Amino acid sequence: IVPIRSGDGREGKATEALLVSFVDLTQQRRVEQMRVDFIANASHELRTPLASLSGFIETLQGPARNDAHARERFLKIMGEQARRMSRLIEDLLSLSRIELNAHVMPEAAVDLVAVVGHVRDTLSPLGHERGVEIGFANSVGPVTVRGDRDELIRLFENLVENAMKYGGSGGRVEISIGRAENDVVVGVRDFGPGIAPEHVPRLTERFYRVDTAHSREQGGTGLGLAIVKHIVARHRGRLGIESTPGEGATFSVRLSGQFHQDEKSDVGTAA
């Protein structure tokens, strides 16, 4: 603690020093608390499928040993639980890799239209399975951004996957590429139930879900948007979330872009 003297003209300074160290400590505690919560949440998320796996192993070794039908059914569930654990571990590793490099801005020139097209092509078959059409409209033509291609793919995959997962069955997802001043804006829009305003500011927190059971049912880990937030930050971009409950949601990513064509001339990448 800084001694606060009076009457020697240093009063103000000492008070300031005291305040600064107090703020730092609060911030330090907050970071520490977040770290502790994160470890607790991650452990809990891993423990649940692990407990289920252990239970099924015991049942298969005991009561269900000679029941071929039960064995088949249990092995299917065990496979799903194992996949859930590996998805979670993959996401945890991605998050820590991105965080480790948080202060280094990736610098490669990336063709953003190709990245978004790739994401659409990769996810379209899954969309077909679920009866979801993925549309893509580009109103700016070719555009390059500085960044990391794989991370940008991951970012838009997460947003499109969410739009398919939460956008309601038989729906539509629209990806758009547009321009705002010197920035490029990629929007991912769905027409599902949307998100109530009180949840919006918390969506990018790790493990935050509006409906945990629904997220798990859809194969969610609760880390998708946390990963999105970190990738956007590393690219010095901005993430926007807009939603009118009952009408859908739009997630948009704004990045500094280099445009190669007059904005008015649409190159017709829309499908």
Residue numbers of the site for ligand ADP (CB under 6 A)? 162-163, 166-167, 190, 192, 195, 203, 208-211, 215, 220-226, 249
Q: Tell me whether residue 56 or residue 190 sits nearer to ligand ADP (CB atom).
A: 190
Q: Tell me whether residue 127 or residue 192 sits nearer to ligand ADP (CB atom).
A: 192
CB of 229 to ligand ADP, least distance (A): 9
Q: If you count DSSP H runs as helices and E runs as strands, how many of each does the chain have, helices first?
A: 6, 7
Angle of helix 112-129 relative to helix 149-166, nearest 10 degrees, comes to 30
**H or E stretch at 176:** strand 172-180
Tell me if 153 sits within 8 A of 179, measured CB to CB: no
CB of 208 to ligand ADP, least distance (A): 6
Dihedral-angle region of residue 200 (phi above 0 means left; psi in -120 to 50 means alpha; beta otherwise) = alpha
Q: Burial letters for 242-258: b for 16+ Cβ neighbours within 10 Å, e otherwise? A: ebeeeebbbbbbbbebe
Give dist(CA 212, CA 218) in Å, integer: 10
CB of 263 to ligand ADP, least distance (A): 28
Q: Burial letters for 79-107: b for 16+ Cβ neighbours within 10 Å, e otherwise? A: eebeebbeebeebbebbeebeeeeeeebe
Q: Tell me whether residue 141 or residue 176 sits nearer to ligand ADP (CB atom).
A: 176
CB of 142 to ligand ADP, least distance (A): 28
Q: Tell me whether residue 65 or residue 202 sits nearer to ligand ADP (CB atom).
A: 202
Radius of gyration over every alpha carbon of the chain, rounded to an integer in angstroms: 24
CB of 148 to ligand ADP, least distance (A): 20
CB of 214 to ligand ADP, least distance (A): 7
Q: Tell me whether residue 112 or residue 159 sits nearer to ligand ADP (CB atom).
A: 159
Q: What is the DSSP letter of 219?
A: T
CB of 134 to ligand ADP, least distance (A): 13
Q: Tell me whether residue 59 or residue 81 sits nearer to ligand ADP (CB atom).
A: 81
Q: Tell me whether residue 140 or residue 185 sits nearer to ligand ADP (CB atom).
A: 185
175: nearest Cα among 122, 234, 107:
122
Q: 71 is written with which tokens?
A: 């064995």
Give dist(CA 229, CA 239) in Å, integer: 7
